[in-house]
Amino acid sequence: MKLQRTPLIAVATIIGLFAATALFLLPRMQSHDAPCAVHEFENSRFIVCTYDARRQDMRLYSRAPAGGYLRSFEGMQRELGAEAARVRFAMNAGMFNEAGAPIGLYVENGDEQKSISLTDGPGNFHLKPNGVFWQGQDNTLHIEVSEDYAVAAHEPRWATQSGPMLLINGDLHPRIANDGVSRFIRNGVGLRDQHTAYFVISSGFVSFGRFARFFRDELHCRDALFLDGTVSSLWAPSVGRYDDNHELGPMVVVMERR
């Protein structure tokens, strides 16, 4: 059978379509792997940084080796040294006292430096139920109501307690209003599954209700935990952000795996 030649114009058209398709897909493939991305939700903007425990490493930092507490990304960066080049993002990660010490459960690389707190009191931390974000020795990720965590025999590698819970099994915290009058820059963490956590910071003032719905309706999380407001800070080299707050407590950092 005689092979027929494809006209050159047809070949050029096919090549052009392929190139256009590749250019169309390339930014999406790159953005899919980007550490942080901007989302719009209910007329508010949020920065979402994704941690995949199967591909990246996570650490918590609090104490300074010479005494006291690190209190800033600058202090944490000094501790990281040359490893700072592997940072995907970092964020403040839990409630703390005036000295910068965690006021709830805090576990750093298997070392429980502060036991879980189940006491009542003022402020967001005591807007019960509060909760614990933790990673097991097998790298699986969890967010649990503090009382549930306390009765279980967990041995986490990393853990931080904060509050209030934003989502509990897909439901909003029972004491959070739909769109209350309290508006702050806020940050928190939610789980998509046992391997994927979304660390989120708002770009403007938002209510607890809108913040919680963002995790539920936009990110499709079932459990989410408020980390803090007012001092909420982000270090994200991919977007050129390095907040210089020097009054932080515990901090979480996610790094490229070697």
pLDDT, tens digit, for every residue of 24-50?
A: 333 333 345 899 999 999 999 999 999
* pLDDT given for residue 114 in this prediction: 98
Residue 9's pLDDT band, with cuts at 50, 70 and 90, is very low
For 60-111, write each residue's pLDDT tens digit: 999 999 999 999 999 999 999 999 999 999 999 999 999 999 999 999 999 9
> How many structural domains is the chain composed of?
1
Three-state secondary structure call for residue 106: strand
* pLDDT given for residue 90 in this prediction: 98
* pLDDT given for residue 18 in this prediction: 38
* pLDDT given for residue 33 in this prediction: 80
DSSP for residue 81: G
Q: Is residue 242 part of a domain?
A: yes
For 155-179, write each residue's pLDDT tens digit: 999 999 999 999 999 999 999 999 9
Q: Is residue 1 part of a domain?
A: no
Q: Stretch 228-235: mean pLDDT, rounded?
A: 96
Note down the domain range covering 117.
Answer: 35-256
Position 13 pLDDT exceeds 80:
no
Residue 237's pLDDT band, with cuts at 50, 70 and 90, is very high
Q: Is residue 4 part of a domain?
A: no
CA distance 194 to 135: 9
Q: Is residue 239 part of a domain?
A: yes
Comparing C-alpha atoms, which of 189, 174, 206 is closest to residue 40? Answer: 206
* pLDDT given for residue 44 in this prediction: 98
Q: Is residue 96 part of a domain?
A: yes
In terms of pLDDT, which residue wins out, 17 or 221?
221
Q: Is residue 13 part of a domain?
A: no
Question: Virtual CA dihedral for 135, 186, 241, 98, nearest 10 degrees?
Answer: -80
In this structure, the strands spanning 223-229 and 36-41 are: unpaired
pTM of the model: 0.87
Contact 156, 136 (CB under 8 A): yes
